[in-house]
């Protein structure tokens, strides 16, 4: 027979590729900063209306910092010096803009290039940005545990806790580490023979827990959060995660003023989402902007874990 209509012969009737109607997100760490007491305690407020984008956080040695000294009957008591210090937070601008042409928006078949998708992206990106800022601070505490070039172990995790306890840091503690570090600790826990680690219910829980980035649960009394934003240290040989308690991290933000502009939307009080139209060029941009600053407060309230990258 001849004249069959075959797929190879109807090039004019078909397209080379068709969109699936679904999309896959590229791999990235999209987690937001955890709502943990160690971080919440460090919030210093909104810089809006304060006359400066820099906030000074006073540190004071009171409420039991100095003990009573031995006195002498009939003799005037000497003054006790007040110990104090401070740290500063500079609130900076963080923003991102996506700009699409009218043609792109017109042919968009997945429905992704549109305001509501961009608004969701703004919220997720803001959370991930704050997490990245936090991760870039935990590698810099003066107290450091672990061995350069060696995998992290459960013993290192205990050393972090001990370091903070010796320094008198108020709990609960939060460990923010790279997934490589947490994976090494988990592997050490999983292959532990004997001792309290092997028979600890928490050890079983972390081995059986759901995988992925973000909150991993509570282990040995400290909360664990993993993020890929934890940087390398020691010229790329190691990762620098950290464990800290209240006061280690201080942060502030700012409310961006809007002018009753229908193109501007403030999300969760702090995140500006704005539509910017350039009609002559046929371009529509969606801007996400927030004002945020984060610093190390009490350096001694945190400890860094160095372990093989």
Partner 1 sequence: METELSTFVDDGAAAGETFLPDAGMSGRGGPPPTKVPACPAFYYAFDPNRWTVMGRQVVPAFVKVPFSDGVNGARAIRDREGRIVRFDMGDARAQHEERGRKIIPHEAVPAAHLKPGQRPSYIYRPKGRPDVHLSLYEKCYPGSEQVDCDEKRFLEWCTWLEAKGFITPVPLHVLRNLLDVKKAELGKTSDKALTNPSLRPLVERLAGDVEAIEEALHARVERLGSAPSDGDTFDPAEA
Which listed range, 203-211, 224-232, 264-272, 275-283, lies at the site for partner 1 (CB under 8 A)?
A: 224-232
Instruction: Give the x-and-dash track for 226-265 against partner 1 (CB under 8 A).
Output: --x--xxxxxxx----------------------------
Burial (0-12, 13-18, 19+ Cβ within 10 Å), 127: middle
149 scored as a contact of partner 1 (CB under 8 A):
yes
- Chain centre distance of CA 143: 21
142 scored as a contact of partner 1 (CB under 8 A):
yes
88 scored as a contact of partner 1 (CB under 8 A):
yes
279 scored as a contact of partner 1 (CB under 8 A):
no
Q: What angle do CA 102, 103, 107 make, to 5 degrees?
A: 115
Q: How many CB atoms lie within 10 A of CB 292?
A: 20
93 scored as a contact of partner 1 (CB under 8 A):
yes
Among 125, 295, 303, 305, the residue binding partner 1 under the rule CB under 8 A is 295
Burial (0-12, 13-18, 19+ Cβ within 10 Å), 95: middle
Which listed range, 16-24, 36-44, 108-116, 136-144, lies at the site for partner 1 (CB under 8 A)?
A: 136-144
Footprint (CB under 8 A) of partner 1, residues 32-71? 54
Strands 249-254 and 43-46: what pairing? parallel
Q: Which value, to the nearest 10 degrees, does the dihedral of the CA atoms of residues 37, 39, 42, 47 take?
A: -120
191 scored as a contact of partner 1 (CB under 8 A):
yes
Among 147, 162, 204, 258, the residue binding partner 1 under the rule CB under 8 A is 147
CB 206 → partner 1: shortest distance, Å?
19
CB 118 → partner 1: shortest distance, Å?
18
What distances in angstroms separate CA 77 from CA 62, 68, 69, 70, 112, one per listed residue? 18, 11, 9, 9, 73
Take residue 48 and report the two structure tokens written for it.
Answer: 């809006």
- Looking at the Cβ atoms of 46 and 299, the one nearer to partner 1 is 299
Which listed range, 36-44, 173-181, 278-286, 292-300, lies at the site for partner 1 (CB under 8 A)?
A: 292-300
| Nearest alpha-carbon partner for 33 in 196, 190, 304, 227 | 227
Q: What angle do CA 160, 163, 168 make, to 5 degrees?
A: 130
- Looking at the Cβ atoms of 155 and 196, the one nearer to partner 1 is 155
Among 39, 42, 94, 245, the residue binding partner 1 under the rule CB under 8 A is 94
55 forms beta bridges with: 89
121 scored as a contact of partner 1 (CB under 8 A):
no
For partner 1, the binding residues (CB under 8 A) are 54, 87-95, 133, 136-137, 139-140, 142, 144, 147-151, 155, 191, 193-194, 228, 231-237, 291-296, 299, 306, 309
């Amino acid at each position: 027979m001849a004249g069959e209509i075959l797929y190879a012969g109807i090039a004019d009737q078909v397209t080379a590729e068709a969109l699936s109607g679904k999309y896959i997100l590229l791999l990235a760490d999209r987690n937001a900063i955890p709502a943990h007491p160690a971080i919440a305690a460090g919030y210093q407020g909104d810089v809006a209306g304060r006359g400066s984008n820099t906030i000074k956080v006073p540190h004071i040695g009171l409420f039991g910092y100095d003990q009573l000294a031995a006195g002498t009957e009939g003799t005037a008591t000497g003054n006790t010096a007040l110990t104090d210090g401070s740290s500063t937070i500079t609130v900076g601008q963080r923003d991102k803009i996506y700009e699409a042409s009218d043609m792109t928006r017109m042919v968009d078949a997945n429905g992704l290039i549109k305001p509501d998708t961009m608004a969701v992206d703004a919220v997720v990106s803001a959370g991930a940005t704050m997490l990245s800022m936090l991760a870039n601070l935990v590698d810099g505490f003066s107290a450091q545990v672990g061995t350069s070039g060696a995998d992290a172990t459960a013993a290192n995790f205990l050393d972090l806790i001990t370091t903070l306890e010796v320094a008198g840091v108020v709990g609960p503690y939060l460990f923010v580490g790279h997934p490589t570090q947490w994976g090494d600790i988990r592997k050490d826990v999983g292959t532990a023979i004997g001792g309290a680690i092997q028979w600890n219910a928490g050890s079983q829980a972390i081995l059986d827990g759901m995988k992925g980035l973000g909150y991993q649960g509570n282990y040995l009394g400290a909360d664990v959060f993993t993020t890929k934003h934890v940087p390398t240290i020691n010229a790329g040989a190691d990762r620098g995660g950290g464990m800290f308690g209240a006061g280690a991290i201080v942060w502030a933000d700012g409310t961006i003023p809007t002018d009753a502009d229908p193109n501007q939307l403030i999300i969760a009080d702090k995140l500006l989402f704005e539509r910017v139209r350039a009609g002559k060029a046929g371009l529509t941009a969606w801007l996400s902007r927030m004002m945020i600053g984060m610093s190390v407060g009490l350096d001694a309230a945190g400890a860094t874990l160095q372990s093989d990258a």
